[in-house]
Amino acid sequence: MAHHAPQRRGVILNEGARNEDAGTEREKAAALEFGRWLFAQECPFIAGAPTVEALPGDTLPEIAFAGRSNVGKSSLINALTGRQTLARVSHTPGRTRQLNFFSLGGQLMLVDLPGYGYAEAPKTEIQRWTDLFRLYLRGRASLRRTCLLIDARHGLKPVDRPLMDMFDETAVSFQIVLTKADKVKAEELDGLLKALEKELKSHTAAHPVVHVTSAHDGAGIAGLRAELAAFAEAAG
């Protein structure tokens, strides 16, 4: 049975809403629906690349996911796609040691980057990951955005900042996505968001909107799907 995408946002807006508010609500609803539809499509594993030479062709717009080891990256990717085992959830930090590529509905490539900041990893391995990050960021024309995952319980750590500087250096757009928000009190979360907003102003590659998510209770997942799906929409 063929699966057809829902009407996209531009089509709905061109129907001529009678007032701006109605048009905005329709646009938001259409974006959420397209995001829900796209992330419900098949998402097969395409390739695992331990080196730049092993990278697959860059024919689709790509969204990469980066974060410290044990930040909840695999859980977030699984929540976005509605699957339990797309990205392997490991109790051993630093287990992902290659760039893993998944084709979402043939319209968007999801890239699971190796976790970083795992102190027990050998220095040579840490350097290899760093070099792979840098070469991927510099040379990947199809990379539209990197989601930098930050544990809402801990905020930015010193190990995160060199990667943020690397995004600035390579002119790769990045967006902070807070994970495990269900484990943080509202007032603490508000304080963290204000601190992040201030710090992001000093990073030229930073997207100003911080997404707050929880893979546990689903908070923020639909909104993040909609934002990321827009890159497939723009390419289509």
Per-residue DSSP letters for 106-131?
TTEEEEEPPPB--TTS-HHHHHHHHH
Task: Give CA separation, 108 vs 1, 46, 129, 142, 190, in Å.
Answer: 21, 12, 24, 10, 32
Distance CA 58, CA 147 (A): 18
The enclosing domain of 109 has a CATH number of: 3.40.50.300
Q: Can you give the pLDDT at residue 116?
A: 81
Q: Can you give the pLDDT at residue 12?
A: 42
Task: Give CA separation, 107 vs 42, 44, 230, 233, in Å.
Answer: 10, 12, 11, 8
| Polymer length of the chain | 236
Q: Can you give the pLDDT at residue 7?
A: 54
Contact 96, 88 (CB under 8 A): yes
Domain span holding position 122: 43-235
Range list of β-strands (E), the chain: 45-49, 62-67, 99-104, 108-112, 143-151, 174-179, 211-212
Q: How many CA atoms lie within 13 A of 84 on its CB side?
A: 0
Backbone angles phi, psi at 46, to 5 degrees: -100, -45
Whether residue 32 lies inside any domain: the answer is: no
Residue 200 neighbours by CB distance under 10 Å: 19
Give residue 101's Cα distance to chain centre. 13
Distance CA 167, CA 191 (A): 25
The pLDDT tens digits of the residues spanning 80-99 come to: 999 877 765 444 444 457 89
Over its length of 236 residues, how does the chain's per-residue pLDDT go in tens digits? 445 666 544 444 455 545 567 778 999 999 999 999 999 999 999 999 988 899 999 999 999 999 998 899 999 999 999 987 776 544 444 445 789 999 999 999 999 998 887 656 678 877 887 888 889 998 899 999 999 999 999 999 998 999 999 999 999 999 999 999 999 999 999 999 999 999 999 999 999 999 999 999 999 999 999 999 999 988 86
3-state secondary structure of 185: coil
Nearest residue to 5 via CA among 31, 43, 44 = 31
Whether residue 12 lies inside any domain: the answer is: no
Whether residue 10 lies inside any domain: the answer is: no
Whether residue 19 lies inside any domain: the answer is: no
Whether residue 194 lies inside any domain: the answer is: yes
Whether residue 24 lies inside any domain: the answer is: no
Whether residue 81 lies inside any domain: the answer is: yes
Domain count, the chain: 1
Q: Can you give the pLDDT at residue 1?
A: 41
Whether residue 104 lies inside any domain: the answer is: yes
Q: Indicate yes or no: pTM above 0.85.
A: yes
Average pLDDT over the chain, rounded to an integer: 87
